[in-house]
Amino acid sequence: MRTMSKLTLTTALTAVLALGGTSCGDKAPTQTESQMLIQEVETGNVLLDKWTGPYGGVPPWDKADVSTMSASLITAFDMARAEITKIADNEAEANFDNTIVALEKSGAALNRVATVFFVHAGNLNKGEIPNILKEMSPKFAEFGDEINQNPALFARVKSVYENMDELNIEQKRLVKDYYDGFVRQGATLNDEDKAAMSKINSRLATLTNQFGQNVLEDEQGYVNFIEDESGLAGLPDWLKTSMASAAKNNGKEGQNSGKWAITNTRSSMDPFLTYSDDRAMREVVWNTYYNRGDNGDERDNNAIITEILQLRDQRAKLLGFKTHAHWKLENQMARTPENAIALMEKVWPHAIGRAQEEVAEMQAIADSEGVFIKIAPWDYRYYAEKVRKDKYDLDLNEVKPYMQMEKLREGMMWAAGEVYGFQFNQVEDVPVFHEDVRVWEVTDKDANHLGLWYFDPYARTGKRSGAWMNAYRTQQKLDGVSTTVIVSNNSNFVKGEGDKPVLISWDDAETLFHEFGHALHGLNSKVTYPTLSGTAVSRDYVEFPSQIHERWLMTPEVLSTYAVHFETGEPIPQELVDKIKKASTFRQGFDTTEYLASALIDMKLHMAGGDPIDPDAFERDTLEGLGMPSEIVMRHRTPHFNHIFSGGYHAGYYAYLWADSLSADASEAFVEAGGFYDAATAKSFHDNIMSVGNTIDPADGFKAFRGRDVEVEALMRDRGFADKE
């Protein structure tokens, strides 16, 4: 559940990109000095030049040559540097147009080539791409430092910041965003400290890239195979088919030769641990997955983690912060790590208490079967599924035949039409980066063009695991006309054989709707400036729009039409839907505990100071102190915790819980109004949440929608940790 945003100059100002109407008040930017400062030059390089083709231009995937990416990125850096120099050296008095708007327009060529490159890095990470990543990661850090540490440029930004009384609200927020970004990245440091910070940032860029590559190599390098059919006991047919396909893709001949594979990804591990009767093999698969990055070999991440944490702490102290966590949360909704921890600690006792109840129920079933075991982490999913059947008479294998990926895609598009007036029409006239990718044009209720949605659903070699959203081009109207938004959703489903439909789990269906919520956030944007557009909001707010969009899956309107049996076409029976609803808080002990354990470890690692640590020991001792149940492990163990060591969620993994408190409360607003398709509530949600980007304080946006501040009690009710009203 990660959002990857298009690289903009602002992201270069604040961090290395992680594997993340007309203005009123003041006059709108027209033919101003800013546009004379930044004039795009055609280079003849397809990666650098303006995108051509329909819909305002589209990424030139069909012409992108990996062999030229490194040179193109270097040229793009030089072009952006020249643009920054023009802005910084402008002899005219600094104002909003010639400084802030000019910065918004700068770096366009770099944005384009970096977008193409980083999409390759996330989806086609093979061949020369890993080497280019290794080469370019420190260069992005170096470029960001050059901008942040440019005293003439900062002086101009500071001047606008100190003289912005005549600007409108959106413009003031943009100026403050730039000013705060410069300060947070060291613009006010002395020369010696700036040099130290640049050295830290460069090293961090190298280390975080290496961390992610190590995890990817462990995911692709460790595959468990089953040699004969006796090892398939308990597995449903759909999973056997998926494992046979995985074996083919990993060098085996598949079912005809008796070879089945469990790849080292969550989408493969999780169902195997849920259904396999082979306890010994469950333990092997569990260990393989949870030891990614922790195998004591050349891909072991423990030393990298230690150095990353020390460097982040050093940087925070250079900037005057107590810890990296205090620096990171300063501009988030939570504001301080203590506030984030307070929310997590409010939920934690309920989570582990429920987990203990779940373990007792599972142990009772194991004892009744006479297997004489103590529930271990590799048993949890398996016996939880038995409890689900026993307690709720719900077998998720009965649900899966109704979960066709393509029909559910149609369902989430239909829901977006009902809520936002969007229409989706598949198009064939744009290039894609892989044959699996398809594209839809998005229009509003009046058939006005809004954007493009790219869908890349299938796993492949070189594609990182999980599911995420990309923004190839964000909405903005610097020149008075809104740009075409280009977004994508990326998943890792196993492609079906021939014309067979791809069946996904209920959890996968929720994730599909979740990531589509990120895309809708980008498509709904109606702001002027790209830096404030769409999903460019605080990390602990960006998951709110996506988490609430999971709720549309469960609406009767979607289920009755789009959750249909892949063979008979019959809609999912109401009896089965009722069982799903009744079991909605089932296994919340496990789900919340494994997540919160990761979030708490993340925060405590980044509050621990700069002394060297042993990551494995820190993880073990901290969890023991928290009373972590022995039957559960962190959702993301420290050595493969990509979110915090190669992504943007460092000291920020708590954000999912923070955002879920918002989504639980907002969901109750829809329910109180009569349902998730209530027109007035949907309009308010669009106007105050989905369309405003980062032009207002997110707390103010939520309050305008809900009529009050968020109440955490809704979260507790939603997870079954409090009596529902």
Residue 78 contacts by C-beta under 8 Å, 6 or more apart in sequence? none
| Residue position matching structure tokens 């993994």 | 653
Which residues are tagged catalytic? 515
Q: At what angle do helices 302-318 and 191-221 cross, to 10 degrees?
A: 160
Residue 624 contacts by C-beta under 8 Å, 6 or more apart in sequence? none
Instruction: Report which secondary-structure segment, H or E, holds 366.
Output: helix 337-368
> Do residues 444 and 450 make contact, with C-beta atoms less than 8 angstroms apart?
yes
Give one DSSP letter per residue of 546-591, joined into a string. Answer: HHHHGGGGGSHHHHHHHSB-TTT-PBPPHHHHHHHHHTTTTTHHHH
Alpha-helical (H) ranges within 369-423 are: 380-392, 396-399, 405-420
453: three-class secondary structure by DSSP: strand
Distances (CA, A) of 2 to 5, 15, 512, 642: 10, 17, 12, 10
Dihedral angle sign, alpha carbons of residues 491, 492, 497, 501: negative
> Do residues 175 and 167 make contact, with C-beta atoms less than 8 angstroms apart?
yes
Cα 145 from chain centre? 25
- For residue 389 the two structure tokens come to 């059947």
Residue 130 contacts by C-beta under 8 Å, 6 or more apart in sequence? 213
Which residue type is seen at 461? T
> Do residues 116 and 64 make contact, with C-beta atoms less than 8 angstroms apart?
yes
- Backbone φ and ψ of 188, nearest 5°: -95, 5
| Residue position matching structure tokens 């006991």 | 233
> Do residues 316 and 323 make contact, with C-beta atoms less than 8 angstroms apart?
yes
Alpha-helical (H) ranges within 222-259 are: 237-249
> Do residues 211 and 231 make contact, with C-beta atoms less than 8 angstroms apart?
no
- For residue 658 the two structure tokens come to 């923070």
Integer Cα distance of 201 and 137 in angstroms? 10
Could you count the other beta carbons within 10 Å of the beta carbon of residue 218? 23
Of 523, 527, 535, nearest in space to 171 by CA: 527
- For residue 706 the two structure tokens come to 């809900």
Integer Cα distance of 74 and 6 in angstroms? 18
Instruction: Report which secondary-structure segment, H or E, holds 4.
Output: strand 2-4
Could you count the other beta carbons within 10 Å of the beta carbon of residue 711? 14
The three-state (H, E, C) secondary structure of 173-223, written as one string: HHHHHHHHHHHHCCCCCCHHHHHHHHHHHHHHHHHHHHHHHHHHHHHHHCC
Dihedral angle sign, alpha carbons of residues 329, 303, 464, 279: negative
710: three-class secondary structure by DSSP: coil
Could you count the other beta carbons within 10 Å of the beta carbon of residue 547? 24
Q: At what angle do helices 302-318 and 615-626 cross, to 10 degrees?
A: 80
Integer Cα distance of 467 and 601 in angstroms? 23
- For residue 455 the two structure tokens come to 């869908």
Of 384, 391, 333, 342, nearest in space to 363 by CA: 384
User: How many Cα atoms occupy the beta-carbon half-sphere of 305 within 13 Å?
Assistant: 29
